[in-house]
Structure 1
Amino acid sequence: MQEAIIKRVSRRTYKDVYIDKEKKDQIQKWIKEINKKSGLAIIYVEDGSKAFQSFSKTYGMFNNVRSIILLKGKKDDENLKEKVGYYGEELILNITDINLGTCWVGGTFDEKNINKIDNDEKLECIITVGVVENRKSFKEKLIGSLTHIKRKPINKRFESKETPPSWFMEGMKAVELAPSALNSQKTIFTYENGDVKAKIENNYRFDMIDLGIAKKHFEIEADGKFDFGNGGKFHKNNKY
């Protein structure tokens, strides 16, 4: 399994330093590539600390946030939320590979202090990114213990009337490690007559983002590509 999938964890405490230029330039290069292929309008903000200074917004869950990534796109993009999850997780895994810490942030920030959103755009989520200690701080461990929900077993994450092939199960192992809002782990994969689809009960504001994240994890290990959309079909590379 890709090392970044195993290594990635949510980090909320950062060192009080800026990201060095080489890594910052690499992140901006990845963002440019993603925007080009996705139609999103993701941007890197070197100092977005004002969005995390209000205790009433952040509940004290973050320390020393500086750099942030704004996950946004056109309001009329019908796949905006799913794209944000899919490409945002691609970005997080790449950033994990260069030994920086990240965290998905859906609501615990002060949006009034972010003025980089055009009128025809919508901000869906933020990624905090920065230099971290090798081990989580006591506060991070405490928050993790309070928010942790036991992972659902793989057999509760997919539906099939037959025994799926090994590549499908490898994909599901990666899905098991995918982050989700409130650790809800709601995305369900189906395998039927060689066809794979991914769906989610879309009744929460971050569900489609979670669907995109789960699809990205599955793709990496199962080697293929999903169609966008709730119930989108998976196309395995060695078959298409």
Structure 2
Amino acid sequence: MKLEFPVEKTVKLRSSIRTYEDKPLDSKLKQQIKEYIAALSNPFSVEVTLQLLETASSNEKLGTYGVIKGARDYIGATVSEADLNLEAVGYSFEKLILYLANLGIGTCWLGGTFNRNQFSNALEVKANELFPAISPIGYPLEKKRLTDTLIRKIAKSDQRKNWNELFFLKDFSVPLTQEEAKEFAFPLEMVRLGPSASNKQPWRIIKANNGFHFYEAKAPGYSDKLSLDIQRVDIGIAACHFHVAALEKELHGKFEKISDTGVKPPADNHYIFSYIMS
């Protein structure tokens, strides 16, 4: 399957942009983005709404508590109640973000550091919808603010966990090596490099019984201030990176929930879904 972007190059290129040039995106580019959004889908068969919110200038304040500067436009994600709905948001939104990174357009995942009421009103979020995340969208400003550097340092944005902390073979006590992962070493490495809230990387993946089983290593209390488990969105981001990398390498399989993985997870590790090889 031909993808709209080279996976490894784009995953490594993508970074969180918090300071933007104070100018609107080109109208043709906006139309291209809207068309890409309209064609997006996810492997969980959940309808995710990604909406472009356009403002006349960066002075039309939508609160991001000083985290974002210069952005005129934002994309917001909403979804109705459904099984794997937050994972679907993570998958679809991250695929859009990778597409934008390949075009040289800046983005930044925001799950908590924005005024949810302001954005809910601006995006006309319905009462029965969940509103997990937004991202600014625009042209990155080359000169970074000191605030940007501090946020990246606090969030440890440039650090990633090692393989033996994330990927396992048949049992959570046995780390999976790249040699044992075989052709799926590349999709797993793209998962390892993925973004996540506070860079916690809550995904744990275990290879067993002809599949890769995705678990959420839930940080106790982390999502308590939100009305949803934001780390489930992170699992969707991991699924996106895994899937687009597998598709690029022409590896075949499908995501599904199974009744028994045959694996006993540690405490606070919750089974989400599996990728079954075919």
Give a deviation string over 1:63-114, Cα, whole Å, max 9, x none.
Answer: 012111110011x222221111111100100111111000001111122223
Give the corresponding residue for 2:90. 85
Give the 5 Å matches for 1:42-53.
42-47=50-55, 53=62
Give the corresponding residue for 2:273. 232
TM (norm. structure 2) is 0.76
Task: Indicate if the aligned counterparts of 1:52 and 1:65 stay in contact, CA closer than 8 A.
Answer: no
TM (norm. structure 1) is 0.87
Moved over 6 A (4+): none
Task: Indicate if the aligned counterparts of 2:46 and 2:85 stay in contact, CA closer than 8 A.
Answer: no
State the superposition RMSD in angstroms: 2.4
Give a deviation string over 1:22-55, Cα, whole Å, max 9, x none.
Answer: 211111111111269641222111129588544x
Task: Indicate if the aligned counterparts of 2:48 and 2:92 stay in contact, CA closer than 8 A.
Answer: no
Give the corresponding residue for 1:7. 13
The count of residues paired between Structure 1 and Structure 2 equals 233
Give the corresponding residue for 1:24. 30
Q: 5+ residue gaps in structure 1?
A: none
State the alpha-carbon separation in 1 of the partners of residues 197 and 256 from structure 2: 19
1:174 correspondence with 2:190: yes
Give the 5 Å matches for 1:56-205.
58-74=64-80, 76-114=81-119, 115=121, 116-134=124-142, 136-148=144-156, 150-161=159-170, 164-202=180-218, 204=223, 205=229
Q: 5+ residue gaps in structure 2?
A: 1-6, 171-175, 224-228, 258-270
State the alpha-carbon separation in 2 of the partners of residues 212 and 39 from structure 1: 14
SS in 2 for 1:105: coil
Cα pair distance change 1:167/1:135, threshold 3 Å: farther
Give the corresponding residue for 2:266. none
Task: Indicate if the aligned counterparts of 1:79 and 1:228 stay in contact, CA closer than 8 A.
Answer: no
Task: Indicate if the aligned counterparts of 2:73 and 2:136 stay in contact, CA closer than 8 A.
Answer: yes
